[in-house]
Every structure is written in C-alpha cells, then in structure tokens.
Structure 1
Amino acid sequence: MAGFITLMESEGKIHIVELAEESVKIKGLGVFNPHELLSGSSVGEEILIGQKYLTVMPSRLPELISGMARRAQTISPKDAGQFISRLGVGPGDVVVEAGLGSGALSMHLARVMGNSGHLITAEPRNDHAEIGLMNLERASKCFPEFPKHTHLEGMIEDLVPDVEIDAVILDMPVHRPAILALAKNMKIGARIACYAPTTAQLENCWDSCEEAGLKVTWCGELMERQWGKTSKGGMRPVNGPFGHTAFLLFAQK
C-alpha cells in the first residue's frame, strides 16, 4: 500500500501527498504522478511541481495536523495537550474517544500511545467518520508507532466496548448517556474528560459524572493568546481571535 510524503510551500502551506502510482489531481499542486516524481525524495530536498518549489518535510504530528482534511471542527492543540496531560494517556492504555470528527484529537492520542495502546473511536455521522478515518490512516503510515485502532459507527452509549478503559474523552452534544454507560467499564483510577461548548452542557457533564460515581477533579477553560513582532520593533499580541473554544471537565473513578 502506498505511503505518504509531506510537502511545504514557501509560505508554509502543508500538503500530505499519497505516493500513488498513477496521475492524480492534487488541489493547489495540479496533476502529476506522485510515485514517479516524489519517491526517493529526502527531507529538506526542494522539488519543483508545476511552477511551485516545495520542500520535503518530516511527517510529524504538527505537519499532519496542518495538512489534514477537515469537515467537523477540530479540537486545537491547546485543548488536546490538556486532555493528554490531565488524563495521563500513554503507551499501553485503552482510550475511548467519542466522537471522532475529523480526527485531530485522535492523531494527538495515537502519537503518545505507541504500538501497545488501543484507541477506540466512535462517530455517529458517516460523513465526519470518513474524513477522520482517512486522517488516521495517513498518520498510521507516518508515525513510527501507532496503536491498535477500533472504530465504532454510532453512539458510544449503544456500543460500549467490552474492555477495561483507562481514559475516556467525550466531544458530543449530549454527554450524559455516554458518561453513565462508560463509567461501568472504567478501571479504578481511570479518568474521563468532557468537551462542552456551553455552560449548560458543562453543568450537565458535572451532574452526570457525579451520578455515575465519578469525582470531578478539574473544570474550566483554557485561553490562548498569540504574540508577534511589530514593524517598528518590540512585541505585541497579534490581531486575531482571543476567545472561547470550549469548557473542559475532568473526573476520576
């Protein structure tokens, strides 16, 4: 099966290109045979495609996130890092993520779980799952290690896997049914995280965790503010969004 190569334009745009052995049309690059043109290329090499010079880059997590296909809104690195840290996700863990969406958080999880982990994703919308699974397939061929992956089509509360769970992440409109269903399969000491865009959802997550016998350990939001250099010297916040993505809630069994 064909692998992938990462190309970066001069202004920083990333393309994740499958090394297909036939001519294909790639948005922004045109029509060409990736296998003939790119096979054997090394990191740092410049390649001319059409009228653009592109640099071969390592296919690491930041490049895969930047060049990923998107449909559902993605969870940002700001929140993904908090999930991994507060849940303690690592090699050998069994992690349940619902819903999959475009797969950005799944790629963050897969990168730290290694070959010994087991990532279980669930997504009720097939149009979202199609994109998310494609991004995970790319990652599985680019990362040096990748966990066992099981995908479930539908609502996670109807498809609870028959395994002991180390960590759960829920990004869904209604969290309560999933919290109550999954808590029974969580190991003692296992943790659950909820991603809730509104305060009403957040309160529901808190109440549902307590109903399931879980202890809330942290609840809040993370704010991110980017800075840059000014034209006349010095530093200042860049012009751009500085606001809310979602509330996060963590609880432990």
Structure 2
Amino acid sequence: MSEPTGAARRRGPFQVGDQVQLTDPKGRHYTFTLEAGKNFHTHKGSFPHDELIGAPEGTVVRTTGNVAYLALRPLLPDYVLSMPRGAAVVYPKDAGQILAMADIFPGARVVEAGVGSGSLSMFLLRAIGDQGMLHSYERRADFAEIAAQNVERYFGAPHPAWRLTVGDLQDNLSDTDVDRVILDMLAPWECLEPVSKALVPGGILCAYVATTTQLARTVEAIREHGTFNEPSAWETMVRTWHVEGLAVRPDHRMIGHTGFLLTARRLADGVEPPMRRRRPAKGAYGEDYVGWGTAKDTGAADASEGGRRASGGRDTASGSDGRDTAPHGRDTASHGRETPSGGQETPSGDS
C-alpha cells in the first residue's frame, strides 16, 4: 500500500528538496529548500546545506559565527505563513475551524472558490487524502499560478486529488454530488443557486467573509434561498500565553479578528425549511433595514404585535410603558484586522 501524497517527505532524515525551518536563539524562523552544494547565509554567518542533508530532524547546526540553529521540517501552519503570497492567506486558526465545523472527512468531494495563495487548499487536501476530490476555482490566473506552485512545493509533487480551474465559480461549476463547498470570496450570496445544485442533501456550505456587512448579507441570502437550514455564524480569536516560572499570564498580543465563518446544510429537494422562532432585537428589521429579509419574513412583526395585544399596548419584554429594560446583546466583534506575525524572515544569499 503506497503512502499518501507528501507523507514520505514528512519523516526520516533531511533530503535534497525538503523544506527546512531554522529557529535562531531569539525564536525567529527561517525557511528554505535544501539544495546540494548551496550555503545558508545570515548576518550571523553561514553554513552549507550539505551539513543537513542526511541528518535527522531536530539537528542543531552552527554558522561560521558560532550561532546555533535548530533544524526541523516546517509544520503546515508554519509553511503557509512563510510561503510566497499573491493574496492574503486563510490563517491556521480559521483553517482548523473550517476543517472541523465543515466536517471535512477522508474521501470527501469538496469544491473551493477563492484559492488565493493556496493556504486552505493544502489543509483541505491533507484532510480528504488521495481518494477524495478537491476542485478549486480562482478567477485570477496569477493567484492560481502562485497557489499551484505552493501546493506542489509542500507536497513534493502535484496532488492527485486536486483540480484547479481559473474562472468564476458561478460560470464554471459543473460538479455534482459534492459533499462540501467552501467559499472565500467577496460575494458568496451570488453563488447560492449553483452551490445548492451541486451539494448533496445534508451537504455543508461554509463561507469565509471579512466584514459584518458581508456576513449579514450572506446569512439573509441563505435564509431567503430556502434550500438550506438556519445558518450558524462565528469568529475565532487565539491568545497565546507567557509561561516563565511563576509568571504565567496572557501575551500582550493576540491573533484577533481575521474573518467570520458561517455554515449551513443543504436540505432535501422539495423540502421547505421549518420557520425558526427568533427574537430579533427591536429595530433589527426596522424602517432603516435594507437587507434581504423583513420583519414579517422573520416572524418578528407577528411576535411584536402579539406581545402588544397581550400587554394592552405595553412592551412585554420590558413590563413597562414603552421602555425596554431587557438586556440586548452587543456586537463585540472587532472590525479591525490584525495580521498575525508568522515570525518568518527571509534568508539572504544563495539559499
């Protein structure tokens, strides 16, 4: 039985063509590809690549300046933060959530739109394995070329489960019996019709968007479309900790908002989704709302009218004339972007 694509390059001694990640005494990372006869250069000296070829992972090498570097193969999260980029990458914290919450399983048939630099594609390919299918769509040819190079460099060869199409998902999606669809694009709501036709009943749609405006419009469009269950939306924040003796505290910096995720599941053909009883805040679907739904569509208007009748004109949420004392949820999501530091530096010289 042959090993999965790329597995042989994840274990054993270093070989020519392997990716190597060096860590210096300050914790900074340097990633390069091993080539026979080449040297790795820094401002702290150099050492020959041949010193690592054939050596086991976890080897410590010293430069001509007597500075020690720990040599390991980069993990996939390290690799995606150091690889060449044409577009912003899906960060590991979000990729992990996508794999878990979209339930990406071995052998799954997955469609991805918005490849960018290929970050999420690599996570998906590792999850589905050689027997799965990942069909990725990217509208920009330059991004697609960078992504293809990054994926092949990481796995050591073209992945047999991957097909990359340059073009819009809306115009080119012909796949059927798809288990999962992942959308990383500006307007996911424009793709709901072709996506619903491609997904099997019970299949999962997962969208990754950057702003609250995109999130709201996508959720309302999914509700309006009528072929999916009630969507779930969330974001993930990661905070590292400093642990030094008795000094145990959160680090001063954290990976905050990078994007919002939402998932919804495909209903069987001809099935209408049951109306979910929701209690929107006052004004959520008021006169200023210009989105996809209305107060009547969501049941908010009927609930509000019924409450007024039952209370003789008073708001039942507050129990007092015209005053709402019930606590409202506040939107605590950060609208700013914080780009996590990958700790990566580009080595100089001929490495």
Q: Deviations over 1:137-186 (max 9, x none)?
A: 122129xxx55111111211112043421111111111122222122011
Quote the RMSD (CA, aligned, Å).
3.1
Structure 1 residue 186 corresponds to structure 2 residue 187: no
Identity percentage of aligned residues: 31
Q: Which residue of 1 aligns with 2:61?
A: 47
More strand by share: 1
Q: How does 1:63-142 map to 2 (within 5 A)?
A: 63-141=78-156
Q: Which residue of 2 aligns with 1:216?
A: 230
Contact 1:20–1:33 (Cα < 8 Å) also in 2: no
Contact 2:222–2:231 (Cα < 8 Å) also in 1: no
For the residues of structure 1 that align with 2:142 and 2:45, how far apart are their CA atoms? 26
Contact 1:168–1:193 (Cα < 8 Å) also in 2: yes
For the residues of structure 1 that align with 2:96 and 2:109, how far apart are their CA atoms? 18
Q: How does 1:134-173 map to 2 (within 5 A)?
A: 134-141=149-156, 148-173=161-186
For the residues of structure 2 that align with 1:213 and 1:30, how far apart are their CA atoms? 61
Structure 2, unmatched stretches of 5+, are 1-15, 267-351
Structure 1, unmatched stretches of 5+, are none
For the residues of structure 2 that align with 1:175 and 1:26, how far apart are their CA atoms? 45
Q: Deviations over 1:171-222 (max 9, x none)?
A: 1111122222122011111101111211221122113323161123411222
Q: Return 210-219 or 52-61, whichever deviates more.
A: 52-61
Question: Structure 1 137/191 Cα, relative in aligned 2: closer, same or farther at 3 Å?
Answer: same
Question: Structure 1 13/136 Cα, relative in aligned 2: closer, same or farther at 3 Å?
Answer: farther
Question: Structure 1 209/54 Cα, relative in aligned 2: closer, same or farther at 3 Å?
Answer: same
- How high is the TM-score relative to the length of structure 2? 0.61
Q: How does 1:22-61 map to 2 (within 5 A)?
A: 34=49, 36=50, 38-48=52-62, 51=65, 53-61=68-76
Q: Secondary structure at the match of 1:243?
A: coil
Deviation at 1:31, TM superposition (A): 9.4
Q: Which residue of 1 aligns with 2:250?
A: 237
Contact 2:206–2:263 (Cα < 8 Å) also in 1: yes
User: Relative contact order: is structure 1 or structure 2 higher (C-alpha 8 Å, sep ≥ 6)?
Assistant: 2
Contact 1:8–1:55 (Cα < 8 Å) also in 2: yes
Deviation at 1:101, TM superposition (A): 1.2
Q: Secondary structure at the match of 1:216?
A: coil
For the residues of structure 1 that align with 2:139 and 2:172, how far apart are their CA atoms? 11
Q: Which residue of 1 aligns with 2:264?
A: 251
- How high is the TM-score relative to the length of structure 1? 0.82
Q: Return 184-193 or 105-114, whichever deviates more.
A: 105-114
Question: Structure 1 243/17 Cα, relative in aligned 2: closer, same or farther at 3 Å?
Answer: closer
